[in-house]
Structure 1
């Protein structure tokens, strides 16, 4: 009987906490009161007896607490008005940045769309398909001069508007192993994926501080998921993710919210363009002489075959979840610190945060990016294996 009262007290405490925190958020206008939100608020009252009397014990308590946490995080949010708000987005030539620029323009934002190629197809598409509120900028996030020039253009166009948001989206991805990847390529990815975000934040923080705006950094689920053959990409995105977490705590005192968007595998120009193919070709041509006996033609052919294809089933084609996450980060009265985007992304994120490394290594061994010994020297080709070993001995 004593145990029953302990469980009953635990259920009552969880219910009161849920109701109290939900009420406080509503009073701060952070929740939107409508039929879906009312139904979600009533759901714990139905789940409590089901968990308590059907599942029972500690299992029922865990299920009930988890359900309340999930319901609370998915309550309909109250949104801020878009009126007179401006947002700057980097990497708008293609992919997430291009789509987000169109999406935010349709919502009524004044959009500054930074494009790497001024006059390119992506920039022309934005000009022709969006409203006159959208302004395109020549913007290479690795160039101090172009970032400073973009800052001056934004200042000239703001007038009575506020720079409410900075969306650091520009990024690039390559697939090649550490030993084969040149140091220059590592530096390029770090410059774009991480230092580019730092450069943009340092330039535009004074404007954002004036209006207590939002910073949204697009990182990647690969910041958590170590993926074979993506060392430069994973490390640069992990650095960007950590920078975002540190920045969020630093700028709280100015009333600035900082969020990170962590997409999984989506079909964009970064994943399906010819850049990856060209990079592997360049790495093959620039391979140091001492590595050529080890990494032969077969290795590079295998790497080419494992790149993402146009209709690759590993990639999601609908980018809507990313646009909605960016919108929520910019406009929700209580934005989230982290948005994981993709069908299976939450499951993958949970696995890599909770499972031990030996299990994760085993899972990684089934990924299409892992290179095995057979990928370097074809299986069954003893002559090739012998010649490779002899060549390696000669190099030694």
Structure 2
């Protein structure tokens, strides 16, 4: 694909306020796209605005916001086609299944899956006209579900399934569907997940706290440790931009060594996997707390 220097094609990026989304918006703009960067607040848009980047208010759980996005896409003053939709918006909380209230489950699926599907459905007619691309940002959690990652992993497993079905449905009309699977990437999302998890821990019953308090501490400590040595968001953005621009993109792109290794773990027996994950967590448990065996 060759782009003119005038931003002759549009790219839509959801969840562009910070982290991978913001880095992707900047990388695509640098490569000549005019990026419609979805943010939830005006100040986030002001911080992101720049050459080739047009912030748009977009909460993917709000139908009015999605309709406004499509009005902007279809009414582009320069008649530019949409080359790619990058579905990046997501939320995360590291919490055991028993302790995650059902309304919180619904909220996580609303953002991480149903909102993604709603945007795909809305943008798809424009992508079919342009023979464009859907880029879904999944996670290593879309391949394996570690302890306290159940709710988040469930949404990412579902997004992977949607992506596979969509790729097969759209093959005949020339729209590629690509999954990005980041591993440890240094973004603000981890801090928000830990904060959310801390609030959920404080709401646990005494029995749940006894069962899971050490586990949540260990999971968050392990996540902080791995993320410190993880890739910067700009590295993930370069992989996403490659998926957008490659003439023949792969169906999946892992981001980082951790992601490249974890994607093969599901081929191991379940009990072997259980022992591997338990052993990796043990050093992070506080003294005197219940540990995974």
Q: After TM superposition, is the score higher than 0.5?
A: yes
Counterpart for residue 147 of structure 2: 228
Contact 1:272 1:309 in 2 (8 A): no
* Corresponding residue of 2:161: 242
Deviations 1:55-90 (A, max 9, x none): xxxxxxxxxxxxxxxxxxxxxxxxx11231110000
Q: Which moved more, 1:307-316 or 1:166-175?
A: 307-316
8 Å contact 1:115–1:139 — kept in the other structure?
yes
Spell out the pairing of 1:129-140 with structure 2 (5 A cutoff).
130-131=50-51, 133-140=52-59
User: Is the CA contact (8 Å cut-off) linking 1:277 and 1:304 kept in structure 2?
Assistant: no
Tell me, what secondary structure is at the counterpart of 1:261? strand
1:367 — aligned with what?
A: 280
State the match for 1:284 in structure 2: 202
Matches of 2:77 and 2:249, distance apart in 1: 24
Task: Note closer, same or farther for the CA distance 1:156–1:348 as it changes in structure 2 (3 Å cut).
Answer: same
Task: State the SS of the aligned residue for 2:154.
Answer: helix
Cα drift, residue 319 of structure 1:
2.8
Query: Could you say if the C-alpha distance between residues 217 and 116 of structure 1 is closer, same or farther in structure 2, counting changes exceeding 3 Å?
Result: same
Q: Among residues 349, 355, 358, which one is paired with 2:263 in the alignment?
A: 349
Distance 1:364 1:311 in 2: 16
Which residue number in structure 2 is paired with residue 4 of structure 1? none
- Residues 351 and 300 of structure 1: is their aligned pair in 2 closer, same or farther, counting only changes over 3 Å? closer
Q: By how many angstroms is 1:159 displaced?
A: 3.0
Give SS of 1:137's match: strand
- Distance verdict in 2 for CA 1:249–1:278, change over 3 Å: closer
Partner of 2:239: 325
For residue 155 of structure 1, what is the aligned residue in structure 2? 74
1:107 equivalent in alignment to 2:31: yes
2:122 to 197, 203, 215: 203
Deviation, structure 1 residue 298: 8.8
CA contact (8 A) 1:209 1:256 kept: yes
Q: TM-score, normalised by structure 2?
A: 0.89
Query: Which aligned pairs between 1:168-183 and structure 2 lie closer than 5 A?
Result: 168-183=87-102
Matched, 1:97 2:21: yes
Contact kept, 8 Å, 1:217 with 1:244, in 2: the verdict is yes
Cα distance change, pair 186–349 in 1 and its aligned pair in 2 (3 A): same
Which of 164, 186, 189 aligns to 1:270? It is 189
**Larger relative CO (CA 8 A, sep 6+): 1 or 2?**
2
**Is residue 294 from structure 1 mapped to residue 207 from structure 2 by the alignment?**
yes
Deviations 1:278-324 (A, max 9, x none): 44324533x4xxxx241237954763464259963444142343212
| 3-state SS, counterpart of residue 295 of structure 1 | helix
* Secondary structure class of the residue paired with 1:238: helix
Q: Secondary structure at the match of 1:312?
A: helix
Aligned-pair RMSD on alpha carbons? 2.5
Compared with structure 1, are the counterparts of its residues 231 and 158 closer, same or farther at alpha carbon in structure 2 (3 Å cutoff)?
farther
What secondary structure, in the 3-state scheme, does the structure 1 residue paired with 2:92 have? coil
**Residue 119 of structure 1 aligns to a residue in which SS?**
helix
Q: Are residues 280 and 81 of structure 1, via their aligned partners in 2, closer, same or farther at CA, if it must alter by over 3 Å?
A: same
Per-residue CA deviations over 1:135-187 (Å, capped at 9, x if unaligned) read: 11100111111111111122222532111110000011100101111111111
Partner of 2:47: 125
Task: State the SS of the aligned residue for 2:144.
Answer: coil
Cα distance, 1:202–1:293 mapped onto 2, change above 3 Å: same
Runs of at least 5 residues in structure 2 that lack an aligned partner in the other structure? none
Give the structure 1 partner of residue 136 of structure 2.
Answer: 217
Paired residues of 1:87 and 1:167 also in contact (CA < 8 A)? yes
Measured at CA, do residues 296 and 282 of structure 1 come closer, stay the same or move farther in structure 2, by a change above 3 Å? closer
Over alpha carbons, which structure has the higher Rg?
1
In 1, Cα distance between equivalents of 2:173 and 2:223: 44
